[in-house]
Structure 1
Amino acid sequence: MSNEFSWEEIRSHTSPDSRWLVVDNAVYDVSRWAQKHPGGSRLLSHYAGQDATEAFRAFHLDQSTVAKWLAPLRIGRVCSNDPERLVAMRTDFERLRKDAQARGLFKPSLVFYALMLAHIFALEAIAYACLRFWGTGWLPYIVALCLYATAQSQASWLQHDFGHLSVFHNRRWDGWLHQLTMSYFKGASAHWWKHLHYQHHSKPNVMNKDPDVRIQPLFVVGKTMPKETAANPKSPYVPYHFQHRYFFAIGPPLLFPVYFQIATFRHAISRRCYVDLACMALFFAKIVVLYRPLLGLGGAFLYYFLVRMIESHWFTWVSQSNHIPMEIEHDRAEPWLALQLHATCDIEKSPFNDWFTGHLNFQIEHHLFPTMPRHNYYKIQPDVQHLCQKYGIRHEIKPLWRAFCDVIGSLRHSGEIWHAAYHAHHMD
């Protein structure tokens, strides 16, 4: 096809009615096809008017097959005039990705994942046995709570692997096991997770695109969001300069048992995800059948709520430690390497940290290679560090305790920015 388009023209096609994107210098009109996209239409809209080549390679395992679906949507080529440094960065990163494939770093260890699944089953079974055989006194109750919350937290990391197709690299097998671990093991919608999480990966810490930083009116994060919130007359008054304090009360304790609980059911019902709803119903039926005879109906659901609350603390601190202290800005259409590094950081490797975080202490490597099995992240980390050093991009690795402290420090800093901007705006 001989049509050539300038970047100026491509960037003008960002509306739902006219949505263009670029992959390998070819221009595609995905306006009508967006609703059919397995990752959701929003994922494509986040790259409308931009070069989606690196995101395309990161998310799609069988690129040749996907290219056949794209072929009918191609409308021409882009008149590329990218700076040499940008071209070199993208070339080097693609070389690193191909090298990782050649080294077998995308090949999963099925033994590893079988052990992960087995230890989740074991933790859940032992938790039930504590109450079934030792009674419901305070000591077995607390032990059972901790064991079941641990099983649920580890199931969160395992469903994350299946959701990214990083175990079997097969949409059917990984999809079925994702349904099992997310909807049946955890009582949440697998479709809801994909809908949000794929957006997060495509544009991490990008305001109005990453749902994980769409947290107003409860919190403001980064440097830009507090200023814009303070200047917006429609924004309700919230004492954000105290957010680093009330975070402990409404953040970690309530994220899973309240916010996510409502969101996952609302999504599954509104999107008519009947398989998700059926598996979720089986999860809650299991809770009632197993724990009602021991704790009563109300006691069974209180037990479930407390398990979710413990798990919520675990998940919140781990997930936010890698992102909230990093840059949070509007979309700057950065290349994949810079985009992911500005939004993520790593936590030091250790057997405990690897297990506790589900290997998401290698958040940088996971974001760069989302389909790579998690047990191989540490192998690619030195190469990523070398590439970052070459282009002057900071690759940050923190101790676990400092990463947790930085969550509170960043909330305090963002709150102070809001407070200063709010008073400056209202004094005018």
Structure 2
Amino acid sequence: MAPQTGSTEKEAQPVSTFPQLFTWEEIRTHNGRGQGREQWLVIDRKVYDVSKFSKRHPGGSRVISHYAGQDATKSLLEDFRELRCAIEKMGLLRPSSSFFFLIFLHLLILDAASWLVVWYFGISLVPFLVGMALFTTAQIQMGWFQHDLGHCSVFSRPKWNRVMQVVVINLLKGLSASWWNHLHNQHHAKPNCFRKDPDLNMHPLLFSLGKTLSVELGKQKKKFMPYNYQHKYFIFLAPLALVPFFQLSIFYFTIKRKKWLDLFLFVSYNIRVCLMYIPLMGFNNFMVYYWLSRYLESTWFIWVSQMNHIPMDIDYDRNEDWVSTQLHATCNVKQSLFNDWFTGHLNFQIEHHLFPTMPRHNYWKAAPLVKALCNKHGIEYKSKPLLTAFLDILHSLKDSGDHWLEAYLHG
């Protein structure tokens, strides 16, 4: 039972003005889908009506709705709260201006170099491929940097992060900041939770992920794809599907949500890139240059973003406490200068999920403290070499495909 007492901001009002007890069955019915569409949250054993606040939530209304009818207490582990306080006192949540300036400078140099190579050397095979490689690298590094900005970990003031994120992802990458934040905030709220984590949107159209969902698909005799071969077609199909998905979904999202500034800015990006490259190489060569770069970038992004998640627990929302949810859905990759740069420091996925606003250059300092906390409470802290992490994606996909096939044939 969850006692309801206390008060909070106007938008998130206590359900009752006097002390009252609610059963979990009562709380779960207020999940935003029943009569009246009320949304209740339990925070520190107090029940709040967040129906109005959800529309104003800075992370988007869906972040709140994913927790409606559940216990949304940030952490049930007192030790984690103490760790959070210790990390704040150590200054690990303060960004380094020089670090992020160098990050921004290096991606601008890569972007300029991609054009200069083609401009100076022409479009024979070698400069064409070198320019494409530089363009791809610049774009993926911009992606990691805008991710930092989206988590408000680059500047001390959130407004500066939001403005700079629009510059980087809209004007330099040709995507939408509003669209990215809408999806990514949901991912952090419920990572690897089917129907709540947008990163699982390709399930089950292309892939069967996790034992529970794979067995369910098999028993329902659903076969959108030959999932028992998904570990073989993932390499080519996943990045190939992501390119049109990103391009089409940003138009759909910005028009539906009336994000006209975002739409104007990323359309401006495409016009600028065309004006820069088409005069140098012609339209047909530019199409090959641009879309092959996007495919390579997508491949890079898919392997890095999924190496920390696909091999971990994928299931329906089990309403675990916040810390356990993050730890069961994430793992790390060993640190090295190359791994840090290649992954945008997302090799420290555990620390990133536990401390989303922590600047990436401090993950390695927090990692031993997080590992000690996990060891104390018997929680597995997974960290593996980069190539092992890549191979584990394929191993996990094969296992899930085998579960699907077994249930499909005999379920």
- TM-score normalised to the size of structure 2? 0.92
Alignment of 1:102-141 (within 5 A): 102-141=89-128
The answer (yes or no) to whether the contact 1:340–1:368 under 8 Å persists in 2 is yes
Aligned to 2:383: 397
Question: How far, CA to CA, are the matches of 1:195 and 1:180 in structure 2?
Answer: 17
Question: What is the distance in 1 between the residues matched to 2:95 and 2:256?
Answer: 35
User: Which amino acid is the alignment partner of residue 47 of structure 1?
Assistant: Y
Within 5 Å, give how 1:294-313 maps onto structure 2.
294-313=280-299
Deviations 1:255-305 (A, max 9, x none): 2x2221111221112111111111101110111110010112333233211
Aligned residue in 1 for 2:354: 368
Do residues 6 (structure 1) and 22 (structure 2) align?
yes
Q: For the Cα contact (< 8 Å) 1:254–1:312, is it kept in 2?
A: no
1:185 to 2:187 alignment = no
Pick one of 74, 98, 108 that aligns with 1:54.
74
Which of these residues, 54, 57, 63, is aligned with residue 34 of structure 1? 54
The offset of 1:338, in angstroms, is: 1.2
Gap regions ≥5 residues in structure 2: 1-16
Asked if 1 retains the 8 angstrom alpha-carbon contact of 2:206 and 2:224, the reply is: no
Share of identical aligned residues, percent? 46
By how many angstroms is 1:6 displaced? 2.5
TM-aligned CA distance change 1:295 to 1:5, over 3 Å: farther
Q: 1:163 to 1:228 in 2, by over 3 A?
A: same
Output the TM-score relative to the length of structure 1.
0.89
Question: Aligned match of 1:383 in 363, 366, 369?
Answer: 369
Question: 1:310 offset after TM fit, Å?
Answer: 1.0
Superposition deviation, residue 236 in structure 1: 4.4
Large movers: runs of 4+ above 3 Å: none
* Cα distance in 2 between the residues matched to 1:243 and 1:51: 36
Alignment of 1:190-209 (within 5 A): 190-209=177-196
Give the 3 Å change call, closer, same or farther, for CA 35–236 of structure 1 in structure 2.
farther
Superposed, 1:228-377 pairs within 5 Å as 228-232=216-220, 235-255=222-242, 257-377=243-363
The whole-number CA distance in structure 1 between the counterparts of 2:154 and 2:282 is 39
Deviation at 1:391, TM superposition (A): 1.1
Q: For residue 220 of structure 1, what is the aligned residue in structure 2?
A: 208
> 2 CA distance for matches of 1:96 and 1:259?
39
Distance 1:169 1:369 in 2: 15
Distance 2:366 2:305 in 1: 21
- 2:368 is paired with a residue whose SS is helix
Tell me: CA distance 1:185–1:54, structure 2 relative to 1, closer, same or farther (3 Å): same
Please state whether the residue corresponding to 1:252 is helix, strand or coil.
helix
Match of 2:11 in 1: none
Give the C-alpha shift of residue 356 in structure 1.
0.3
Give the aligned CA root-mean-square deviation in angstroms.
1.4
* Alignment partners' CA distance in 2, 1:280 and 1:25: 44
**Equivalent-residue separation in structure 2 for 1:293 and 1:351 (angstroms):** 38
Could you say what secondary structure the match of 2:239 adopts? coil
Verify the 8 A CA contact 1:287 1:300 in the aligned structure 2: no
Encode CA deviations 1:102-132: one digit per residue, 9 max, x unaligned. 1000000011001000001100111100000
| Mean CA deviation greater in 332-341 or 178-187 | 332-341
CA distance in 2, matches of 1:304, 1:5: 60
> 1:15 pairs with 25, 32, 53, which one?
32
Does the 8 Å contact 2:214/2:401 carry over to 1?
A: yes
Equivalent position of 2:8 in the other structure: none
**Separation in structure 2 between the aligned mates of residue 4 and residue 298 of structure 1, nearest angstrom:** 69
| Higher alpha-carbon deviation: 36-45 or 219-228 | 36-45
Match of 2:7 in 1: none
CA deviation profile, 1:218-239 (whole Å, cap 9, x unmatched): 1011111101111225x44421
* CA separation of 1:7 and 1:138: change in aligned 2, threshold 3 A: farther
Residues 164-191 of structure 1: per-residue CA shift (max 9 Å, x gap): 1111142311111111111111101111
Q: Is the 8 A contact 1:345 1:397 kept in 2?
A: yes
> Residues of 2 paired with 1:161 and 1:242: CA distance?
35
Q: Which runs of 5+ in 1 are unaligned?
A: 56-86
Residue by residue, what CA displacement relative to the aligned partner does 1:309-356 show, whole Å, maximum 9, x if unpaired? Answer: 111111111011000000111111112221111100000000000000
For 1:161-176, list aligned pairs within 5 A: 161-176=148-163
Residue 66 (structure 1) aligns with: none
Partner of 2:146: 159
Does the 8 A contact of 1:346 with 1:363 survive in 2? Answer: yes
AA partner of residue 123 (structure 2): T
Return the match for 1:95 from 82, 102, 107: 82
Aligned to 2:45: 25
SS of 1:263 mapped into structure 2: helix
Give the partner amino acid of 2:211.
K
Deviations, residues 43-80 of structure 1 (Å, cap 9, x unaligned): 1011111222317xxxxxxxxxxxxxxxxxxxxxxxxx
CA distance in 2, matches of 1:276, 1:237: 34
2:136–2:297 CA contact under 8 A, matched in 1: yes
Measured against aligned partners, the alpha-carbon deviations of 1:238-265 in whole angstroms (never above 9, x if no partner) come to 211011111122112442x222111122
| Whole-angstrom CA distance in 2 between matches of 1:131 and 1:5 | 70
